Structure 1
Amino acid sequence: MHGPASPGWLLVALCAATGAYCLLRMRSIVDEQRRAAGGEALMGFGMAVMAVPAAVAAPPRWAWIAYMAVFGGAALRALWAARTHAHHLHHLVGACAMVYMAAAMAASPVHHGNSGVPLLTGVLLLYFAGYVLWSGVRLIPVTAVAATESARTVGWGDRPELARVCRLSMAIGMLAMLLTL
């Protein structure tokens, strides 16, 4: 993506750490959480690779096409999974946003700020800004819920608030990437 190198590396670190935690969440005993964590790990690592500053490593056009294929497949999988769980609609939007950004970079990897369709970029920015605000509100602790959750023993990979933090950090990363598109 285009933009200064320091924030780019911070975004790479955030997305890679999120992807790594999502890989660890794949060890959950809850089947649905394992499946969701796998998609989120792919998204986190994909965002980390895509966020590497262009001044350091400018991928060739075929790499952007490969991103489009990988995240197009992820979008199809999320669309299929959304039949039974609405949460996968967010995964679908995220995968489509990754396809969109990769397509914009494949079409115009050297132009700063004028690649892609501005209307679609704006719609995606609004969606992810809304998702960040909604996710942030969901992290506000509620004493009754906290007391109930602390009464049972939950593995650190099965904690819903940590999964929400992962989704929140990826949505913030997506906002940053869309702004630099």
Structure 2
Amino acid sequence: MHGPVWVGWLLVLLGTAAGAYCLVRARSGPAAQRGEVRGEGLMALGMAAMAWPVAAPSWSLWLFTAVFGAAGLWALAHRHLHHAVGALAMAYMALAMVVPTPQQAGHTGQMGQMAQLGQAGGTGPMAHAVPGGVPLLTGLLLVYFTGYVLAAGVRLVPAAGAGAGDVAAGGPVPVAGAGVLPACRVAMGIGMLAMLLAL
């Protein structure tokens, strides 16, 4: 990915924290959601590994592509559509980092030509990085995750307020961990947005 190193470290922290939280809370959450919460936790840890701001060997990016691609197809087969979109988006980003686009190939060629010129004219290698991936697909994923984060985030706030009001009024106590899955997905959505912007 492109972008400052500190963005990569923030993504590593976000993914690790979200993944650990989801995996721990999955044990106390509703039984029907435990599988999905574990899946989100593993996805978050995978995001943290992929965002590690150190040059990764190409075989590891191919491994990410295979693992996330398989996870996306499994989720699609089980009709977990959001999980499928997230996993396939991760596979797409890993593939975009290992397979250069025609724009990136031309950019690399220009850098090689400028390197051959040496210091002529006082110019060095091009500092601007050409974005990877397919711009249209990246844009569609950005729109999807932006909409999802905004919608899910708005739904989380009233749910928390309503739960507190029910308890104060003597109503039913909310089930522990009931909001874990939406919270994990919001955290993952924010991380996905950052990774797509840095692609």
> Do the structures match in fold with TM over 0.5?
yes
- For residues 74 and 58 of structure 2, what CA distance do their matches in structure 1 show? 25
1:69 has 2:66 as partner = yes
Moved over 4 A (4+): 142-145
Q: Does 1:79 align with 2:85?
A: no
Whether the 8 Å CA contact 1:9–1:52 is kept in 2: the answer is: yes
In 2, the alpha carbon distance for the partners of 1:74 and 1:24 equals 21
Structure 1 distance, partners of 2:22, 2:60, is 24
Contact 1:11 1:173 in 2 (8 A): yes
- 1:2-41 paired onto structure 2 within 5 Å: 2-28=2-28, 30-41=30-41
Unmatched runs of 5 consecutive residues or more in structure 1: 83-87
* Structure 1 residue 36, shift from structure 2 partner: 0.4
Which of 91, 100, 116 aligns to 1:99? It is 91
Secondary structure of 2:13 counterpart: helix
- What are the ranges of 5 or more consecutive residues in structure 2 without an aligned counterpart? 109-128
Q: 2:189 aligns with which of 168, 171, 174?
A: 171
Deviations 1:137-171 (A, max 9, x none): 1022255444336742643xx231x4322211110
Amino acid at match of 1:81: H
Larger Rg: 2
- Which residue identity does 1:103 align to in structure 2? L
Task: Tell me the matched-pair count.
Answer: 170
Q: Which residue does 1:42 correspond to in 2?
A: 42
Identity value in percent: 54
Q: TM-score when scaled to structure 2?
A: 0.78
Matched AA of 2:74: R
- CA-atom RMSD, angstroms? 2.1
Contact in 1 for aligned 2:149/2:189 (Cα 8 Å) = yes
Q: Which of these residues, 173, 178, 181, is aligned with residue 159 of structure 1?
A: 178
Partner residue of 2:112? none
Residues 165 and 153 of structure 1, relative CA distance in 2, 3 Å threshold: closer
